[in-house]
Chains A and B, each alone.
Chain A
Amino acid sequence: MFNDTVLKEIEGIKAKYPDRRSALLPSLYIAQREFGWLSQEAMTCVARSLNLPEAVVRGTASFYSMYKHRPAGRHVIQLCTNISCMILGAERLVDFLETRYGVPANGTSGDGRFSLVIMECIGACGTAPAMLVNTDFYDNLSEKRIEEILENYK
């Protein structure tokens, strides 16, 4: 089960809404932060802290693409390949990440360093191509720039 600090945090979130189920999405983010991904145990914790059936928790979580349903690498790269990024070379960058770092699209590198998630538009179309590494934002990407950026994520 979550520790007391986390439970208190979830209580604070519940207080912002007229019903407890509304705290589900934020609580799933908290579980993901605590466990690294939404394991069975993580989702059980969420279900208990909100007094919701586990099936409801799992079903809802499965709908949203930013919840991780398997363990991820130490750093998660979220690269956009939608139209504005695509026409400016994002697909080439997907290939580059695989050859240079061994991280396949929507998979994790063998050394566990990176996971790569293909994103649907991260709202950086004016400075495309763009990505998030964990929660840090980078744009105007090229192969060279990606190499420089990822140096900081060991």
Chain B
Amino acid sequence: MEKVLLKNTDNPDSADISEYRKAGGYRSLAKAVQMEPRDIVEEVKKSGIRGRGGAGFPTAMKWNFAMADPKFPKYLICNADEGEPGTFKDRPILEKNPHLLIEGMVISGYALGAEYGYIYLRGEYPAAKDILEAAIEQAYREKFLGDDILGKGIRFRLSVHQGAGAYICGEETALIESIEGRKGQPRTKPPFPVNVGAWSMPTIVNNVETLANIPYIVEIGGEAYSAIGSSDCPGPKLYCVSGFVEKPGVYELPMGTSLRDIIYKHAGGIKNNGKLKAVIPGGISTPVLPADGIDCAMDFVAMPKAGSMLGSGAVIVMDESVCMVRVTYRAMKFFEHESCGKCTPCREGTDWLRKILERIEHGKGREGDIELLSDVAGVMSGRTFCPLGDGAAGVVTGMIRHFRNEFEEHIRDKQCKFRN
């Protein structure tokens, strides 16, 4: 498959505007400004693209909701708060292909009638901030940004807003709170951001990878795009593979590539000829799959049927040396730290789950602790404003479903046999 998102990233100067233009960059924008905005949205609809942030919501549907709202101005925010542990797919776009993202945002802004864009960039990516800001300056200079884009009188102003280390700000309403200078606590929905978003105006929040697909959709047309990958959620997809594989990294493959192929064909199989034990397929908020559960298509429709989720496409591969109780405990420490504290079931639940997991891992687990974990997870599920609580509960439930014996062993033997 021709590379779309990682195109030209082997070139060490790929972030420079002249290199990007040499490789055909900004031609889609030139084409888009000749089109009517609604025709661009129509192409995006035909493409069938679903948002790449994790939820897989159809992009054109989100756009149409925002466009149906007569309030003005509208804001376009790029969610570059890539924080789901295991995820490092947006980083190569931000650092090596910033103009692809900028081009995607300008086209999207024109299509949506949004004149102001912000890239909400996580604080942990300081290098990306410098690269993006340099790229934005270049784009202003060459009239791809500003008040008269390509001499067509189109306005789109873009700037980077740096986050400050809060996982929850990847949730779109928390992100909006944060950009407004508040604590990143999710809002009650409805109203949805497409109607009442940043500064109470219609706001479209799209993931980096989603926006980086837009120039290609404009280039080849929605119909041709929809033929790539899975029929019900098409397009190229970035999968990032980490852990015990020979060749960890970011792979651009057709959406729906099987998890087995991603691990064995592309990432080179298990490191040092080790034996596969478990895979977290879409970032740590997605339920774990056992070694025999990896014959599934990695897309938004097939993964729930296989007992997990595509999430951010962050594949964490674990071999037989990894203690699943320890992984669950570490994941829960993360969720406890990142819970924003707004909803009681999440704030208290993550704290209790962590405490119970900690004692099990340290050989102090009690009879009935596994049931207690399931109980607490059950109480959290579906009782929070945002998906953080559900994700935390799902991690525990998934781990117990597939690796219950390991939890039982820890409690029975009063120790973790993986520690030396």
A105 part of interface (Cβ distance < 8 Å): no
Report whether A87 and B322 are in contact in the complex, using a CB–CB cutoff of 8 Å: yes
B310 part of interface (Cβ distance < 8 Å): no
CA–CA, A21 and B176, complex, Å: 12
Given contacts A86-B330, A87-B244, contact A19 B127 (CB under 8 A): no
CA–CA, A59 and B177, complex, Å: 14
Contacts of B125 in A (CB 8 A): 123
CA–CA, A120 and B84, complex, Å: 9
CA–CA, A59 and B341, complex, Å: 14
Q: A83 contacts which of B126, B178, B199, B327 (Cβ < 8 Å)?
A: B327
Contacts of B183 in A (CB 8 A): 59-60, 63
Size category of the A interface is 35 or more
CA–CA, A148 and B163, complex, Å: 30
Report whether A126 and B164 are in contact in the complex, using a CB–CB cutoff of 8 Å: no
A71 part of interface (Cβ distance < 8 Å): no
CA–CA, A25 and B368, complex, Å: 45
Contacts of B165 in A (CB 8 A): 64-67, 120
Contacts of B240 in A (CB 8 A): 125-126
Within 8 A of B (CB), among A4-20: 16, 18-19
Given contacts A29-B162, A60-B181, contact A120 B88 (CB under 8 A): no
Report whether A83 and B181 are in contact in the complex, using a CB–CB cutoff of 8 Å: no
Contacts of A67 in B (CB 8 A): 164-165
CA–CA, A124 and B338, complex, Å: 19
CB distance from B180 to the nearest CB of A (A): 5
Report whether B284 and A82 are in contact in the complex, using a CB–CB cutoff of 8 Å: yes
Report whether A135 and B249 are in contact in the complex, using a CB–CB cutoff of 8 Å: no
Within 8 A of A (CB), among B68-82: 82
Report whether B248 and A127 are in contact in the complex, using a CB–CB cutoff of 8 Å: yes
B123 part of interface (Cβ distance < 8 Å): yes
CB distance from A140 to the nearest CB of B (A): 10
User: What 1/0 flags go to A33-60 for Cβ under 8 Å of B?
Assistant: 0000000000000000000000000011
Report whether A25 and B330 are in contact in the complex, using a CB–CB cutoff of 8 Å: no
Contacts of B82 in A (CB 8 A): 123
Report whether B338 and A19 are in contact in the complex, using a CB–CB cutoff of 8 Å: no
- Of A16, A66, A123, chain B has the most CB atoms within 10 Å of the CB of A123
Q: List 23 A-B contacts (CB under 8 A).
A: A23-B181, A29-B162, A63-B166, A65-B337, A66-B124, A66-B164, A82-B86, A84-B86, A84-B242, A87-B316, A87-B322, A88-B243, A120-B334, A120-B337, A123-B82, A123-B91, A125-B242, A126-B88, A126-B242, A126-B250, A132-B126, A135-B127, A137-B126
